[in-house]
Structure 1
Amino acid sequence: MPRLLLASNSPRRRQLLTDLGLTYEVRLKEVDEAYPEHLQRAEIAEYLAAHKASAYRTDLEPDDVLLTADTIVCLGAEVLNKPADEVEAVRMLTQLQGRAHDVYTGVCLLTGQGQQVVFSDQTRVHFRPLSEAEIRYYVRNYHPLDKAGAYGAQDWIGLVAVTRLEGSYFNVMGLPVHRVYEELEKLGFGVGQS
C-alpha cells in the first residue's frame, strides 16, 4: 500500500492534509533553502520544493510518495522570505501594508520509484493600510518569524488586513490543496484509495 510522507514542519500543512482525509507520516531534515539568483517568483518556490525532496531521495521505499513544499511572498521583484527577527518582520509588514503582493507555493511529489511532479500555485493578496501600532501588535503577539512575508493569513493580521484574494486561500496558508489532491489522486491517495 502506498505511504504518503510529508517533509514539512509546518502545522498548517499538516492540518490541511489531515483536513483532506489523508493518512501521512512526517519526515524532517534540515535542508539549505538557498536558490540560484537568476530564478524568479514561481521558479523559486518550485526549485526549493524540488531541492527539499532531493534530500530524501535515497530514503524512500518503492511505494512511498514524498510531499515537499515551499511558500514565498513577492512584492514586485523582491522576495520576502521568513524574517530573521522581529525588526525584519516589522519592516516586511510595513512594505506589504496598503499594497497587493503575490504568494507562490511550490510543491514537489517524489515517488520511491523516482517519478517526480513539481508544480506551483499563485495567489494575489490585497492588504489594507495598517498602522505601525497594528503591525507591532501582530509581530509581538503572533511571532510570525516562521512565515514567508512575516504573516499568516489564518492569523489576526489575515482577519484585519486581507481585503481580497485572487486565487486559493489555502495556497497562502502554505499548500494549494486543490492541486495537491488532484496530483495525489493520480498516485492512489484519493478518498477511499488510502
Structure 2
Amino acid sequence: MRPIILASASERRKELLAQLIGKKFEVRISSYDEDVVDGLGPVELVMYHSREKALDITNDLTEGIIISADTVVVCDGEVLGKPENEEHAKSMLSQINGRAISAVTGLTVMDAASKKVITEHEMTSIWMRMMSEELINDYINTGEPFGKAGSFAIQGKGAILVERIDGDFFNVVGLPLFRLSKMLEKFNINVLGH
C-alpha cells in the first residue's frame, strides 16, 4: 500500500485527514514559502501554492501519495491571509464585518512514484455577522485569529461570527473533504477501504 503524506503543519488539516482516512498517514512539512505571486488571482494563487508544496515534498520521496492544500479568505477580490499581529487581525475582521466573503482552497494530490499530479480548487461562500468593535476585540483576545486565514476559525469560537455558509464547511476549516475524496479516487484510493 502506498503511504499517504500530508504536506502541512496545520493541526486542523491533520484532524480532517484523520477523519477521512483514519490515522494511516504521515506528515511532512514543506519548506515552500507561500509569498504572494504577482499576476495570480485568488484561485490561481492557492492552486499554485498547493502544487508547489506538493512538489517540494516530492523531491525527497520515491513513493507515496502527497496531499497539500492552501486556503485563503477573499473579500472583494482581495486575498486575506493570516494576520501578522493584533492590529492586522482587527483590520481584517473590520473589513469582513457584515460582508459576504469566500474561502478558497487549492488542493493538490500527487503520486511521488509516477509524478501524476492533480490540482483543483474549492470555494465556499461565507456570510459574516455584523460585529461590534467590542465583539471584534473580545474575539481577538481569545488568541484564536492568529494563524488563521481571514483572522477567524469557523471550527472554534469564530463560529459565532459566521451567519451562514454556502458550500463545503470543511473547506472553510482548510481541507475540502468531499473534493479530496473524489481526487483520491483518481489515484485508486477508496477512503472507506484505505
Fold agreement, TM-score > 0.5: yes
1:41 Cα offset (Å)? 1.7
Amino acid at match of 1:83: P
8 A Cα contact 2:74 2:101, kept in partner: yes
Aligned counterparts of 1:18 and 1:162: Cα–Cα separation in 2: 25
Matched position secondary structure for 2:118: strand
Alignment map for 1:84-99 (pairs within 5 Å): 84-99=84-99
Amino acid at match of 1:86: E
Aligned counterparts of 2:61 and 2:47: Cα–Cα separation in 1: 20
* Aligned counterpart, 1:100: 100
Identical counterparts, % of pairs:
34
* Aligned counterpart, 2:6: 6
Aligned counterparts of 2:147 and 2:119: Cα–Cα separation in 1: 23
Aligned counterparts of 2:157 and 2:121: Cα–Cα separation in 1: 26
Deviation per CA, 1:142-192, whole angstroms, max 9, x where unpaired? 33221111111111121x221111111110000110010111123233245
Amino acid at match of 1:12: R
8 A Cα contact 2:109 2:117, kept in partner: yes
* Aligned counterpart, 1:17: 17
Deviation per CA, 1:44-93, whole angstroms, max 9, x where unpaired? 1101101111212221223x010110001110121100111111011100
2:113 paired with 1:117 = no
| Uncovered stretches (5+) of structure 2, i.e. residues with no partner | none
Aligned counterparts of 1:155 and 1:131: Cα–Cα separation in 2: 19
Aligned counterparts of 2:185 and 2:30: Cα–Cα separation in 1: 26
Aligned counterparts of 2:127 and 2:142: Cα–Cα separation in 1: 22
8 A Cα contact 1:35 1:48, kept in partner: no
Amino acid at match of 2:126: V
Aligned counterparts of 1:157 and 1:17: Cα–Cα separation in 2: 21
8 A Cα contact 1:152 1:173, kept in partner: yes
| Uncovered stretches (5+) of structure 1, i.e. residues with no partner | none
1:118 Cα offset (Å)? 0.1
Could you tell which deviates more after superposition, 181-190 or 85-94? 181-190
8 A Cα contact 1:72 1:149, kept in partner: yes
Aligned counterparts of 2:76 and 2:192: Cα–Cα separation in 1: 42
* Aligned counterpart, 2:153: 152
* Aligned counterpart, 2:143: 142
Aligned counterparts of 1:51 and 1:145: Cα–Cα separation in 2: 24
8 A Cα contact 2:104 2:124, kept in partner: yes
Aligned counterparts of 1:143 and 1:121: Cα–Cα separation in 2: 24
Alignment map for 1:1-194 (pairs within 5 Å): 1-22=1-22, 23-62=24-63, 64-112=64-112, 113-158=114-159, 160-194=160-194
8 A Cα contact 1:35 1:47, kept in partner: no
Matched position secondary structure for 2:146: helix
Matched position secondary structure for 2:138: helix
Aligned counterparts of 2:193 and 2:164: Cα–Cα separation in 1: 36
